[in-house]
Chain A
Amino acid sequence: MPVNGAGVQQTEGSTPASPTEAKEDNMTDNVHQQQSDNGCNHQSPNQNHKPQHGDGPETQTLPMPVPDPPIQYTKLFINNEWHESCSGRKIPVYNPATGTLLCEVEEADTEDVDEAVRSARAAFQMGSPWRSMDASDRGQLLNKLADLVERDRLLLATLEALDSGKVFLMAYFVDLMATIKTLRYYGGWADKIHGKTIPIDGEYFTYTRHEPIGVCGQIIPWNFPVMMFAWKIAPALCCGNTVVIKPAEQTPLSALHMAALIKEAGFPPGVVNVVPGYGQTAGCAISHHMDIDKIAFTGSTAVGKLIQRAAGDSNLKRVTLELGGKNPNIVFSDCDLEHAVEQAHSGLFFNQGQCCLAGSRVFVEGPIYEEFVHRSVEKARGKVLGNPLLPGVDHGPQIDQKQFDKIMELIESGKREGATLECGGSAWGQQGLFIQPTVFSNVTDDMRIAKEEIFGPVQLIMCFRTTREVIQRANATQYGLAAGVFTNDIDKALTVSSALQAGMVWVNCYNAMSVQCPFGGFKMSGNGRELGEYALQEYTEVKAVTIKISQKNS
């Protein structure tokens, strides 16, 4: 996978400060190979889409980041207008690859949230353009938004890579592709949300309406900013709700650009309001708000608990949560070993390990353990760190100092508690927030690194003997988001996948996701499901209407 075969690069003096400097032409077939091996089966550059629709270039040229991209939108988006914050405060937005300040955006606090909620509530009134619109028209607006995202895909991918540190080609081929597909998928559902007519006892005619819940507060994280934005607004709008969405303070830029596209697409004012701010202020205002009907949160389990308490404390707003994970990836000795190593690798290291789904506990069956560790270390050593905007780089920085410190601290605890450090284990580069891809073997279940969510590029490989044992160990966690099973034996695959307490179980793959398939956690990884048809339930309030009739006719 490395472009130059050298392993982890020490690129002294190459300050990845500006994309214009980084025009080295590193486009080779290796890079291509690596894009399709990322484990995320959303897409590869060779998808059979017609080129004219801009889903991706033909295989010869890779997309390039926009040089010196304009950052046009830095204010709060309320009622289809751009506002300065009531407090006058702003949030500094940094490029984690370089530490440089990209810009400042307005910081929303309680008063701004109040205003956003007022405008969302007004847009939800009976008789408003949004409430009296055909469902199919809501769907058309979402499709139009998808078209606009497709038009601005290069710019959005560039902003996303600059703001979050993720590899540009990943942003383009994974995050933006998923965003477009999610908007289109829910655009298609809008006029297919069916209530029922019900054969009730008695002389009555009964039917259900699947109504929107109302004003939905949505709080999203920094690891997949624009994709999380789409996952939240698409089902909400599809069902007819209005939205107040708070992007993460670390990564507001793509959300604000989306706000501009939402206005351009033609969504009525107040339907979507975007209010970047901090969790303890704006986030808290949302979760406590007496006029928000539902809150959807993606982030850490610790904050998820606060949200749940806040809902109970305020108006019992409906709550859905997508939280952390410590996901087991179970590799049996009868699997395709090379494939399993590859999938486990990308299953952990994708997005610099900053995935709720990261396969962070790799359980390998005794007979293949040594070989598996050896091959995994080789893969980890082969990652190319550097400026995420450059093709050929496949590992960027962590998002900020706080995450960096937390990961390093956990790495130290691993060393201290006696795990074997196979490779990595330190920071990389002279500046900032890069951490070497790290592999620990001989990890035992009681170590901190085996129990706590690291959210960084640290792969843990543990050994197991029997199926019964590994199921028990895999389930021995408060989390329950995802899991992987690698085996060629049909019985083992069915038994283990049924037994694992996880919302998503992958068999002979990892991170295989697409908008049609529901996603969410068991236990403290959250409640509710996003994506697929299932997500519609979370944004619907069912009303049963019963009319007296003069005579029943079956």
Chain B
Amino acid sequence: MDASNRGLLLHRLADAIERDAAYLAELETIDNGKPYAVSYMVDLPHVVKCFRYYAGWADKWEGKTIPIDGDFFCYTRHEPIGVCGQIIPWNFPLLMQAWKLGPALATGNTVVMKVAEQTPLTALYVASLIKEVGFPDGVVNILAGLGASAGAAIARHMDVDKVAFTGSTEVGHLIQQASGGSNLKKVTLELGGKSPNIILSDANMEDAVEQSHFALFFNQGQCCCAGSRTYVQADIYDEFVERSVERAKRRVVGDPFDLKTEQGPQVDQEQFNKILGYISSGKREGAKLLCGGGVAADRGYYIQPTVFGDVQDNMTIAREEIFGPVMQILKFKSLEEVVERANDTKYGLAAAVFTKDIDKANYVSHSLRAGTVWINCFDVFGAQAPFGGYKASGNGRELGEYGLENYTEVKTVTMKVPQKNS
């Protein structure tokens, strides 16, 4: 098939998803609990854009001809890797599916995708669209299953050439080991984070408070890149905390289909229990509970927007990924100090700094060990911009042109020629 035709199929898929956006958004909300307004206004448009972005790359991923020493003609081909296993999580089901399928299919691979057992519905619907728009049989295969069985089977399969996993760091370790224990399949991982969000005293206060609130609470706190350590410079600390608490108290928790709702339920019992456990540890270890801290409704997995102040770096809530609506605010004095404390974590997914000072912005953003650094904003994503982690937050980058590299095998071809001509 012409590469441009692969791109055309991806475009048609984007069109079909756009056509069925309202239905898919509804299904996503029913399955995951995120507010419908967000599914429809955020998740779905990003999904469509991701497929369109990669549709455009299909016939533009070019090898090179190379001026090698000697009487040879040398070029590279960018070939697909082969059969790619892809294991995706429950926090952004459709979006994670798009992030995985887009680059894999643009580059010509075939896919076996295991969707999260908590949220299989939208991915399976998209499978019907994949067939409708005309992808040949076998190019995309989508299975719902459990990690310990289906996921493990993919990770250790002797005929899967590559596995891409998004999920917890804990399972990431298992995937990497499984690759080593089977056929050394290529591995890319997008794992957890404990991302620092640094507020300097010259930041625009209102903006910083709102963005920091969003950075933590978006998607019920269920984001790998959540800004879950909010470092605030000493001279603005008290005001920042007061405003953040006030904002958290105003956060509307409720029925995800109510368009006024900002926060829906957590995804399941297991997550719900885990988050409540972290809240207890926070109280126990001496953090100051400023609002929330408990269950928000008498049925479903709703948790009150919770804010802890005076958090210390060694507390459990400051070190471990909570993945829920629990905000940690910590105080710092100097830039050097906060950079060191921000980097003092096994994770390295994202970070942010709020400041108007150009020097400080550059200093901090260049010093943080994180795959994405936001300046005066948070959670800004585009299909064009690569995303991924340093350290135990993963390896490899998704999105952008960089995303294609993970799905490519480079073949060098070198031919003898009778005489070199430069």
Q: Which of A500-554 contact B (CB under 8 A)?
A: 514-516, 533, 547-551, 553
**CB < 8 Å: which of B1, B5, B363, B384 contacts A550?**
B363
Does A187 make an interface contact (CB < 8 A)?
A: yes
Q: Is the CB of A499 within 8 A of B52?
A: no
Q: Is the CB of B59 within 8 A of A549?
A: no
User: What separation, in Å, do the CA atoms of A48 and B134 have in the docked complex?
Assistant: 10
Instruction: Quote the shortest CB–CB distance from B285 to chain A (angstroms).
Output: 34
Chain A residues in 8 Å Cβ range of B59: 185, 188, 516
B-facing mask of A135-155, CB < 8 A → 1, else 0? 110011001000000000000
Residue among B11, B56, B382, B415 facing the most chain A CB atoms (10 A cut-off): B56
B-facing mask of A177-220, CB < 8 A → 1, else 0? 00001001101111110100000000001000000000000000
Chain B residues in 8 Å Cβ range of A550: 359, 362-363
Q: Is the CB of A547 within 8 A of B12?
A: no
B-facing mask of A488-506, CB < 8 A → 1, else 0? 0011001100110000000
Are A181 and B4 CB-contacts (below 8 A) given A188-B57, A191-B53, A495-B417?
Answer: yes
Does B73 make an interface contact (CB < 8 A)?
A: yes
Does B367 make an interface contact (CB < 8 A)?
A: yes
Chain B residues in 8 Å Cβ range of A402: none
Does B366 make an interface contact (CB < 8 A)?
A: yes
User: What separation, in Å, do the CA atoms of A289 and B298 have in the docked complex?
Assistant: 74
Q: Is the CB of A192 within 8 A of B52?
A: no
User: What separation, in Å, do the CA atoms of A84 and B288 have in the docked complex?
Assistant: 75
Instruction: Quote the shortest CB–CB distance from B6 to chain A (angstroms).
Output: 12
- The residue of chain A having its C-beta at the shortest distance from the C-beta of B420 within the complex is A498
Are A192 and B401 CB-contacts (below 8 A) given A498-B421, A553-B367?
Answer: yes
Chain B residues in 8 Å Cβ range of A548: 359
Q: Is the CB of A136 within 8 A of B366?
A: no
User: What separation, in Å, do the CA atoms of A191 and B60 have in the docked complex?
Assistant: 13
Q: Is the CB of A494 within 8 A of B60?
A: no
Q: Is the CB of A205 within 8 A of B362?
A: yes
User: What separation, in Å, do the CA atoms of A549 and B367 have in the docked complex?
Assistant: 12
Does B291 make an interface contact (CB < 8 A)?
A: no
Instruction: Quote the shortest CB–CB distance from A492 to chain B (angstroms).
Output: 9
Are A192 and B56 CB-contacts (below 8 A) given A50-B134, A499-B421, A553-B366?
Answer: yes
Chain A residues in 8 Å Cβ range of B60: 185, 188-189, 192, 516, 533
Chain B residues in 8 Å Cβ range of A89: none
Does A473 make an interface contact (CB < 8 A)?
A: no
Q: Which of A459-500 contact B (CB under 8 A)?
A: 490-491, 494-495, 498-499
**CB < 8 Å: which of A49, A136, A491 contacts B417?**
A491
Does B68 make an interface contact (CB < 8 A)?
A: no
- The residue of chain A having its C-beta at the shortest distance from the C-beta of B134 within the complex is A50
Chain A residues in 8 Å Cβ range of B73: 494, 498
Instruction: Quote the shortest CB–CB distance from B322 to chain A (angstroms).
Output: 30
Q: Is the CB of B358 within 8 A of A136?
A: no
Q: Is the CB of A136 within 8 A of B384?
A: yes
- The residue of chain A having its C-beta at the shortest distance from the C-beta of B55 within the complex is A188
Q: Which of B3-21 contact A (CB under 8 A)?
A: 3-5, 7-8, 11-12
Q: Is the CB of A143 within 8 A of B11?
A: yes
User: What separation, in Å, do the CA atoms of A324 and B410 have in the docked complex?
Assistant: 38
Does B269 make an interface contact (CB < 8 A)?
A: no
Chain A residues in 8 Å Cβ range of B419: 495
Does A416 make an interface contact (CB < 8 A)?
A: no
Q: Is the CB of A49 within 8 A of B362?
A: no
Q: Is the CB of B366 within 8 A of A549?
A: yes
Q: Is the CB of A187 within 8 A of B362?
A: no
**CB < 8 Å: which of A136, A499, A514, A547 contacts B383?**
A136
Chain A residues in 8 Å Cβ range of B70: none
Does B206 make an interface contact (CB < 8 A)?
A: no
- The residue of chain A having its C-beta at the shortest distance from the C-beta of B10 within the complex is A188
Chain A residues in 8 Å Cβ range of B5: 48-49
Instruction: Quote the shortest CB–CB distance from A143 to chain B (angstroms).
Output: 7
User: What separation, in Å, do the CA atoms of A138 and B224 have in the docked complex?
Assistant: 31
User: What separation, in Å, do the CA atoms of A136 and B53 have in the docked complex?
Assistant: 8
**CB < 8 Å: which of A135, A205, A491, A495 contacts B366?**
A205
Q: Which of A39-56 contact B (CB under 8 A)?
A: 48-50, 53
The secondary-structure label for the interface of chain B is: helix
Q: Which of A403-440 contact B (CB under 8 A)?
A: none
Residue among A187, A494, A548 facing the most chain B CB atoms (10 A cut-off): A494
User: What separation, in Å, do the CA atoms of A191 and B358 have in the docked complex?
Assistant: 27
Q: Is the CB of B12 within 8 A of A53?
A: yes
Chain A residues in 8 Å Cβ range of B359: 548-550
Are A498 and B417 CB-contacts (below 8 A) given A48-B5, A184-B8, A516-B60?
Answer: yes
Chain B residues in 8 Å Cβ range of A181: 4
Q: Is the CB of B7 within 8 A of A188?
A: yes
**CB < 8 Å: which of B1, B52, B62, B367 contacts A48?**
B1
Q: Is the CB of B417 within 8 A of A516?
A: no
User: What separation, in Å, do the CA atoms of A205 and B366 have in the docked complex?
Assistant: 10
User: What separation, in Å, do the CA atoms of A462 and B197 have in the docked complex?
Assistant: 74
Chain A residues in 8 Å Cβ range of B57: 188, 192
Instruction: Quote the shortest CB–CB distance from A308 to chain B (angstroms).
Output: 27
User: What separation, in Å, do the CA atoms of A190 and B56 have in the docked complex?
Assistant: 9
User: What separation, in Å, do the CA atoms of A499 and B4 have in the docked complex?
Assistant: 31
**CB < 8 Å: which of A143, A191, A515 contacts B384?**
A191
Chain A residues in 8 Å Cβ range of B358: 547
Does B49 make an interface contact (CB < 8 A)?
A: yes
Q: Is the CB of A491 within 8 A of B418?
A: yes
Chain A residues in 8 Å Cβ range of B366: 205, 549, 553
- The residue of chain A having its C-beta at the shortest distance from the C-beta of B11 within the complex is A143
Are A136 and B52 CB-contacts (below 8 A) given A184-B8, A549-B363?
Answer: yes
Q: Which of A111-161 contact B (CB under 8 A)?
A: 135-136, 139-140, 143
Are A549 and B134 CB-contacts (below 8 A) given A494-B417, A498-B417, A499-B421?
Answer: no
Q: Is the CB of B418 within 8 A of A495?
A: yes
Chain B residues in 8 Å Cβ range of A49: 5, 8
User: What separation, in Å, do the CA atoms of A498 and B74 have in the docked complex?
Assistant: 13
Chain A residues in 8 Å Cβ range of B4: 181, 184-185, 514-516
Are A549 and B362 CB-contacts (below 8 A) given A194-B401, A498-B417?
Answer: yes
Chain B residues in 8 Å Cβ range of A194: 401
User: What separation, in Å, do the CA atoms of A550 and B358 have in the docked complex?
Assistant: 10
User: What separation, in Å, do the CA atoms of A255 and B4 have in the docked complex?
Assistant: 25
Chain A residues in 8 Å Cβ range of B363: 549-551
B-facing mask of A292-322, CB < 8 A → 1, else 0? 0000000000000000000000000000000
Instruction: Quote the shortest CB–CB distance from A334 to chain B (angstroms).
Output: 16
Chain B residues in 8 Å Cβ range of A135: 384
Instruction: Quote the shortest CB–CB distance from B52 to chain A (angstroms).
Output: 7
Chain B residues in 8 Å Cβ range of A495: 417-419
Chain A residues in 8 Å Cβ range of B382: 136, 191
Chain A residues in 8 Å Cβ range of B415: 490, 494
Instruction: Quote the shortest CB–CB distance from B187 to chain A (angstroms).
Output: 26
- The residue of chain B having its C-beta at the shortest distance from the C-beta of A494 within the complex is B417
Chain B residues in 8 Å Cβ range of A549: 359, 362-363, 366
User: What separation, in Å, do the CA atoms of A53 and B1 have in the docked complex?
Assistant: 17
Chain B residues in 8 Å Cβ range of A205: 362, 366
- The residue of chain B having its C-beta at the shortest distance from the C-beta of A194 within the complex is B401
Instruction: Quote the shortest CB–CB distance from B9 to chain A (angstroms).
Output: 9
Chain A residues in 8 Å Cβ range of B7: 184, 188
User: What separation, in Å, do the CA atoms of A194 and B5 have in the docked complex?
Assistant: 24
User: What separation, in Å, do the CA atoms of A498 and B73 have in the docked complex?
Assistant: 10
Chain A residues in 8 Å Cβ range of B12: 50, 53
Are A192 and B384 CB-contacts (below 8 A) given A53-B12, A140-B52, A490-B415?
Answer: yes
User: What separation, in Å, do the CA atoms of A49 and B8 have in the docked complex?
Assistant: 9
Could you list 6 A-B pairs, sorted by A, with CB under 8 Å? Answer: A136-B49, A143-B52, A188-B55, A189-B56, A495-B418, A516-B60
| Further 18 A-B residue pairs, CB within 8 A, beyond A136-B383, A185-B4 | A184-B8, A185-B59, A188-B57, A188-B59, A189-B60, A190-B56, A191-B53, A491-B417, A494-B417, A494-B418, A495-B419, A498-B73, A499-B421, A515-B4, A516-B59, A549-B359, A549-B362, A550-B359
Q: Which 3 residue pairs spanning A and B have beta carbons closest together?
A: A188-B56, A498-B421, A553-B366
